[in-house]
Structure 1
Amino acid sequence: MTTEPYGKKNPFPAPVLSVKHLTAEGSPKETIHIEYSLDGSGLEYIAGDALAVIPANDPALADALIEKLGFCPCSAVPTPEGESTDLRDALLHNYDITNVNKALLTKWAAASGSQELETLLAGDKEAISDFLWGRDVLDLATEYPASFESAEAFVSMLKKIMPRLYSIASSPNAHPEEVHLCVGAVRYTARDRKRGGVCSTYMADRLQPGHTARVFVHTNKNFRLPENGDTPIIMVGPGTGIAPFRAFWEERTASGAQGGNWLFFGNPYKATDFCYEDELVKLTAAGKLKLSVAWSRDQEKKVYVQHLMVQEGEELWKWLENGACFYVCGDASRMAKDVDAALHEVIRTWGGKSPEEAAEYVADMKKHHRYQRDVY
Structure 2
Amino acid sequence: MEFSKLIFEPTVDLKLPPVPVSFIEVVFSDVQKIDLDDPLCTSAPLPFGISPLIQSEVVSGRLLTRGDDVKETFELSLDIKEQFSYLPGDSVGVFPQNPLAEVNQLLKRLGLDEQKNAPIEITVKKGVKKKLPIYLPLVSTPKIILESVLEIRGILKKGFLRSLAEYTTEYKEKRRLLELSSIEGAAEYDKYILQQGLTLSDVLTEIPSCVPPLSLLLEHLPRLMPRAYSIASSPLSCGKRINIVFNLVVTPRGRMGVCSSWLKNKFEDVDDLSKKFEKMGVQDSSPTRTSKTIPLFFRKPSNFRIPTPIDAPLILIGPGTGVAPFIGKSISSSSFTNPFYESKVN
Give the counterpart of 1:57 among 98, 119, 122. Answer: 98
Report the 3-state secondary structure (helix = DSSP H, G, I; strand = E; otherwise coil) of the residue aligned with 1:235. Answer: coil
Amino acid in structure 2 at the alignment position of 1:223: F
Counterpart for residue 338 of structure 1: none
Q: 1:191-238 CA distances to partner (integer Å, 9 max, x unpaired)?
A: xxx521101111012454411111011123221111223243222211
In the other structure, the counterpart of 2:222 is 159
1:45 aligns with 2:106: no
Within the candidate set 224, 229, 232, 1:169 is matched to 232
Alpha-carbon RMSD across the aligned residues, in angstroms, is 2.9
The residue type equivalent to 1:147 in the other structure is V
Equivalences for 1:115-264 in 2 at 5 Å?
115-121=175-181, 122-123=183-184, 127-132=188-193, 133-145=196-208, 146-148=210-212, 150-188=213-251, 190=253, 195-206=255-266, 208=270, 209-255=290-336
Q: Deviations over 1:267-315 (max 9, x none)?
A: xxxxxxxxxxxxxxxxxxxxxxxxxxxxxxxxxxxxxxxxxxxxxxxxx
Structure 1 counterpart of 2:110, from 57, 69, 75: 69
Q: Is the 1:77–1:151 Cα contact (8 Å) retained in structure 2?
A: no
Per the TM alignment, residue 125 of structure 1 is displaced from its structure 2 partner at its CA by: 5.9
Matching residue's letter, 1:119: E
Q: CA deviation at 1:11?
A: 1.2
Q: TM-score, normalised by structure 2?
A: 0.64
Distance 1:21 1:118, change over 3 A: same
Distance 1:88 1:181 in 2: 28
Structure 1: how far apart are the matches of 2:53 and 2:304?
A: 23
Could you say if the C-alpha distance between residues 77 and 136 of structure 1 is closer, same or farther in structure 2, counting changes exceeding 3 Å? Answer: farther
Q: Which secondary structure state, in structure 2, belongs to the residue aligned with residue 234 of structure 1?
A: coil
Note the residue ranges of structure 1 that are not aligned, 5 or more in a row: 258-376
Aligned to 2:57: 15
* Change over 3 Å in CA distance of 1:126–1:17 after alignment to 2: farther
Q: How does 1:216-365 map to 2 (within 5 A)?
A: 216-255=297-336
Distance in 2 (CA, whole Å) between partners of 1:120 and 1:76 is 35
Matching residue's letter, 1:234: I
The answer to whether the Cα contact below 8 Å between 2:99 and 2:262 also exists between their aligned partners in 1 is yes
Would the aligned equivalents of 2:116 and 2:143 in 1 still touch at CA under 8 Å? Answer: yes
Query: Are 2:161 and 2:178, in contact at CA under 8 Å, matched by a contact in 1?
Result: no
Match of 2:75 in 1: 33
Normalised TM-score (structure 1): 0.59
Per the TM alignment, residue 25 of structure 1 is displaced from its structure 2 partner at its CA by 4.8
Question: Aligned AA for 1:196?
Answer: M
Query: Residue 25 and residue 38 in structure 1: after superposition, are their counterparts in 2 closer, same or farther (change >3 A)?
Result: same
Greater relative contact order (Cα < 8 A, sep 6+): 2
Matches of 2:51 and 2:336, distance apart in 1: 32
Shift of 1:153: 4.1
Matched, 1:99 2:99: no
Contact preservation (8 Å) 1:45, 1:219: no
Q: Structure 2: any 5+ residue segments left out of the alignment?
A: 1-41, 123-134, 271-289, 339-346
Aligned to 1:297: none
- In structure 1, the residue corresponding to 2:239 is in which secondary structure? coil
1:301 is matched with: none
Hey, what's the Cα distance between the residues in 1 that align with 2:190 and 2:231?
Answer: 32
More strand per residue: 1 or 2? 1
Q: Distance in 1 between matches of 2:309 and 2:316?
A: 16
Which of 102, 114, 122 aligns to 2:174? It is 114
Change (3 A) 1:11 1:104: farther
